Amino acid sequence: MGAFNTFVTNDRCFGCDQHVERGFQFKFADKWQYTYRTGDLLKWGGNDEGDPRQPLVLVDCVPEPCPNCGFDYDWSDERGFRLRIENDRLVGVEGPLEFDALVFGCYVEMETVKAELQTCQERLGLWTLWEENQEYSAETHSNAGEWFRIEPNALGAREYHRVDWTGPAFLTVIHVTRRTELTELLSSPNLTLLTPGPVRERSYSKPDDHVFYVDSKAEVGDTGSYSRLADTTKQRVLVFEVGADLPVFEFVPRMVLPRNESG
């Protein structure tokens, strides 16, 4: 996680149902392993992240395991916790919250999208500092806890976002809790809201299977499980996308062949 600070509070554990003193790690203000409690003022002037003296900031925070029973929350991009900060004073932890995500297709290049966002920086609550990875991406956060990322529509980007978009760039916003408001704020001729499709499921069938499709529980692109299956059974394994008539891959022990080359 890199340098971070810790907010310590008395929290009821979902595992043992006891009130315990638990730490929540967060990145905001001067990141220097400071420990804070409710009512403390944040320190600035060092390894700073974010902007000081904001009326309200919600910052992602990661709970530490319960010191009593070791229970750990299932923290992910879909759910998590936020630390509430008012005028640089720590108020408390909110959550677990359910997070949403927005994906916009951009009709213009990355730098134009960034400039457009900066014209409404105050309304969006965007942080002043942007992290830029040369021509590959630009990202920042908002006072409402969202993470904004602009990236070019490079090879593989459409597959990653599960959208059909041929424009020059994407704007992704994750950890969203104000979907309707944010969608209205980002209404622009240069942006179009995209709806991700379902993750493509894949199934396998051995040549002598009586049932054509067998659920493999593997994720898209995870070919390792099929390869191991072929090695274990010493049999060929045909891999299908659910709903498709023709196999995508054919696995033989220690070998993977595209279907049109397998013979």
Look at residue 1 in the predicted model and tell me its pLDDT: 58
20: left (phi over 0), alpha (psi -120 to 50) or beta: beta
pLDDT band at 165 (very low <50, low <70, confident <90, very high): confident
Across the chain, mean pLDDT equals 84
Position 124 pLDDT exceeds 80: yes
Distance CA 171, CA 158 (A): 12
- Residue 210 has what pLDDT? 43
Among the residue ranges 35-44, 110-119, 240-249, the one predicted with the least confidence is: 240-249
- pLDDT confidence of residue 211: 41
- pLDDT attached to residue 163: 82
- As a whole-number percent, the residues of the chain with pLDDT over 70 amount to 80
CA proximity to 102, closest of 165, 179, 163: 179
Predicted confidence (pLDDT) at residue 2 exceeds the cutoff of 80: no
Instruction: Answer whether 0.85 is exceeded by the pTM.
Output: no
Q: Is the pLDDT of residue 145 over 80?
A: yes
Say yes or no to pLDDT of 263 above 60.
no
Structural tokens at position 84: 């509430």
Strand order in the sheet with 147-152: 131-133, 137-141, 147-152, 169-176, 100-106, 191-194
Asked if residue 172 lies in contact with residue 161, where contact means CB atoms within 8 angstroms, the answer is yes
Chain centre distance of CA 39: 30
Nearest CA to 17 out of 83, 71, 90 is that of: 71
- pLDDT at 259 (0 to 100): 59
Tokens of 173: 């916003």
* Per-residue pLDDT, 48: 95
Domains in the chain (CATH in brackets) are 5-97 (no CATH), 100-194 (3.30.160), 202-261 (no CATH)
Query: Distance between CA atoms of 246 and 251, rounded to whole angstroms?
Result: 14
CA angle 187, 152, 138 (to 5 degrees): 75
What average pLDDT does range 96-109 have in this prediction? 94
Query: Do 134 and 152 contact (CB within 8 A), yes or no?
Result: no
d(CA 253, CA 231): 4
Determine contact, residues 66/13, Cβ cutoff 8 Å.
yes
Please state which of the ranges 109-118, 184-193, 231-240 shows the lowest mean pLDDT: 231-240
pLDDT in tens, 195-240: 887 655 666 666 555 444 444 444 434 456 667 677 777 777 777 7
Of residues 56 and 219, more confidence is placed in 56
